[in-house]
Amino acid sequence: MPLIDQVLIVPLFIHVLLVFSVAFRMYRARVAAYKAGEVQLAEIALDNSKWPEKVRKLQNNLSNQFETPPLFGLVIAFALLFGLKSWVFVVLAWLYILSRLAHSYIHTGSNYIPHRIRAFGTGLVLLLLMWVFLFVHIFLL
């Protein structure tokens, strides 16, 4: 596999690590909250809002990992399928995953909305640019 393709795929693996990291952190936070008596099983069986704030942040962040990131995985797969070999595209992919890491860090930490929106919006714009770049490569070049 060419180096450019390998460097393009690494952000996908980083995202997979992020997803599992958030999931494991959420699991530990849930167990800790239950053991500390902060929740009762009957309360949380059908209502996730009963969890403490720390757990809800992690739950919501885990959900966020399945919103725009699938489009990221798809654009990477199509780029490889259609032979897109561009370091600009690779840089966009790396910047996108950095924006996801920043978003996750903010979301599960301070959750300061202006910073979180900026991180999310940056990622969204980068993802759109990747799709436009791919479209141009396939249909206009």
Q: What is the pLDDT of residue 141?
A: 82
Q: What is the pLDDT of residue 40?
A: 94
Which two tokens mark 59?
A: 């739950």
CA distance 89 to 102: 20
- Residue ranges, the chain, pLDDT below 70: none
Q: What is the pLDDT of residue 53?
A: 97
- Dmax over CA atoms of the chain, in Å, equals 61
Q: What domains lie within the chain, and their CATH numbers?
A: 3-140 (1.20.120.550)
CA distance 82 to 87: 15
Which two tokens mark 109?
A: 């930490």
Would the CA dihedral through 20, 64, 11, 78 be positive or negative? positive
Name, in order, each residue with C-beta under 8 angstroms of 48's C-beta and a sequence gap of 6 or more: 56, 59
Indicate the pTM of the whole model.
Answer: 0.95
Q: What is the pLDDT of residue 55?
A: 98
